[in-house]
Chain A
Amino acid sequence: MIKTEQLTKRYQNHLAVADLCLDVRAGEIYGFLGPNGAGKTTTIHMLLGLIRPTSGRLLVFGEEIGPGDFAFKQQIGVVAEEPAESSQMSGWELVRFFARLYGVERPGPRMEELFHELDLWEVRHGLARDYSRGMRQKLSLIRALVHRPRLLILDEPVSGLDPHGIRQVRAIIDAYQQSGGTVFISSHILSEIEHSANRIGILHGGRLLVEDTMEGLRGRLARQQRLTIEVEQVTPALVERIASQPYVVQVQQEGRQLALVLISQEDVRARLSRVISDAGGLILKMQGEEMSLEEAFVTITSQDALALAGHTGAP
């Protein structure tokens, strides 16, 4: 459905996206995950032809997208990160305007269905620019779905929504996928997409660190664990010695306590005890705890991410 080959975008001295190789398959929900500034929105803008890639190839619906191509967007629905409406149109008129741009001749019944589903029916004649952020987000989703696209691109689709709105949007996305649609969701919050995404790609610093199924990703991330060690005296040499261990991703010191993030499939506590003893440290307490998927994702994208990419064998 979407395929990118060595897609790169460079802005003078800043590399926004580097050698990105994505493969979004038909009928799946693909979660495009990464912290703010990772290059997600830049990638989406390149997919839509809003900015031109510096290099690389981009294929949508199996056809290469070149400069000036725009007809392919008839089969795509897009929800922007910050929905902006500035015209004098009501919510209803705005969606009808876009429906006409997409070539929908009688959009009324579909619009009615979507406005009801997202609780905007009562306010449909209000000015779209006066809607709250959450309402504008829902309106963007209606606009994106009115022409029954084959591919739905969502950039942070639930930002600004209350919990009820989040549930409504998730239900619509799930129903859309079940009807055969393909969804490409970009988010910086794993929990937003972990329930619905079939596969996930994690982007960091413009590079794709991991691309895997949700189960595969859970397996990779589950190798991470948090360990809290209390020692009699913490010295810089001890911290340095611990941090130099290959299975230690992160060390944080707080008084006599050391909070470690480890990545290993084995139990490394005995090895770590020896390292501390060899460095002259005396362990008072050692406590391990499992990391949530969210915590593990944050660790991946904030600490030593590229090293982890090498470790996991990601492209």
Chain B
Amino acid sequence: MDTTRYIAKHVVNLPRSGIRDFFEIVSKMKDVISLGIGEPDFDTPWHIREAAIYALEKGKTHYTSNLGLIELRRAINRYVEKNFNVSYRPEDEILVTVGVSEAIDLAARALINPGDKVMFHQPCYVSYHPSITLTHGVAIPVPTYAKDNFALTAEALIAAWQPGCKMLMLNLPCNPTGGTCNRAQLEAIAKFVIEKDLLVLSDEIYSELTFEGEHVSIASFPGMKERTIFLHGFSKAFAMTGWRIGYACGPATLIEAMMKVHQYSMMCASIISQEGAIEALQRGEDGMKSMREQYHRRRDFIVRRLNEIGLKCHMPRGSFYAFPSVAITGMNEKDFALGLLNAEKVAMVPGTAFGANGAGFCRACFATGYDQLIEASDRIERYVQGIAAKK
């Protein structure tokens, strides 16, 4: 019996994740050094894990409020106010979600009507485009370029805008490019957003991993809090990827709309993850800073090595990704990545897994040990030299 005929058309047309395809190949190989895993190599700090164990011992196993534990929402408000200069009411402006991934899905389902146009900068994390098309919206990609260190510019937004655009999805610092925007650039984006009366969905999951200067949230600019849904979580800063816990902050009416979808699909985030999240916000700063220092050192090393090898790479100001160009090899990004994998057993993700603007680039995640980074860079160098020798 052919069951594929039951699949909804818009799901049939949804492309498979380029990352998933690449890693199905990698998973069949042995002894691969993977620079493709987009999560911290650190385990969650023990005090956070222990807080969750303690919560289980105390019998905390029941549903929470749909919005999340009020203690967690209060802790989130304090944290966001201190670090992002925006304050949200715990009672009705904060929603605890099952990872930022769920928050993106909720925002899309609650706010996008069929035919609404949604802008997003590219290359970008794999979920933004599908979240728009799954809700029958129209995805409007906005290119970012190496010449700007992959910052999103107001000029690019103006060029890409069309009548019918309703929302702009932002991810700064950006996965996969490590691109960020400084205050002046964000001010220009905010001005554009206000002029065009757009909503902003701002995914700031990598914000703690900003290595130079300050991270500024677009929500903190005048006139922006009322039109921004601020998304954040615990996966990257506190190494809590598997806990699936995040949050959305925004105007009460929009949070209420998202909560309506959330309450029917998810009920609430795991209480154990919420308890761990409280501990992370209350006592996790030292551990987070220690991890950030290590990512910083690793970043400096790998970007220097990639440039020494000839794979031109800008210095990412945030996230734990380097995004080198493979142009020097004359190969496209897929052939380069597959060739590197087969010849030297190093995995980097082809840039086109993150959108058409990723052509000619590969993503290298430096959330891995120094010995792995050193060995990987030596192998990449060998591979690139081998290509040059054949020319």
A and B bind: no
Interface residues of A (CB under 8 A from B): none
